Amino acid sequence: MSERVDITLSVDPDTARRLADPAIRARVESELEAFTRKIGVDLLMEAIAAAKHEARANGLTDEMVEAELAAWKAERREVRVPPAA
């Protein structure tokens, strides 16, 4: 199991009572994790779509964007930027 971090959420009293049951709490935690992962993917996809839209609006084609990305990736491989500490 990965590292766990406790958080505080405000809920109504009935929900708080239901979450006192360890089995229900575990299920809710699992669903919340899945939901937040999905949101992260959705937000990334929205950002990519917005960037593509802006690029096209500025006259760039998908091929031009792909060529720029390929050049950037090749440059990064040559430079070998160390990861942040």
Quick: pLDDT tens for 24-37.
Answer: 999 999 999 898 88
Does pTM top 0.85 for this prediction? no
pLDDT for 58 equals 93
Mean pLDDT, residues 32-50: 85
Q: Of 11-15, 44-48, 80-84, where does the model show the most confidence?
A: 11-15
Q: What is the 3-state secondary structure (H, E, C) of 15-30?
A: HHHHHCCHHHHHHHHH
Q: b/e map of 21-50 (b: 16 or more CB within 10 Å)? A: eeeeeeebeeeeeeeeeeeeeeeeeeeeee
> Which residue is associated with the tokens 């709490």?
25
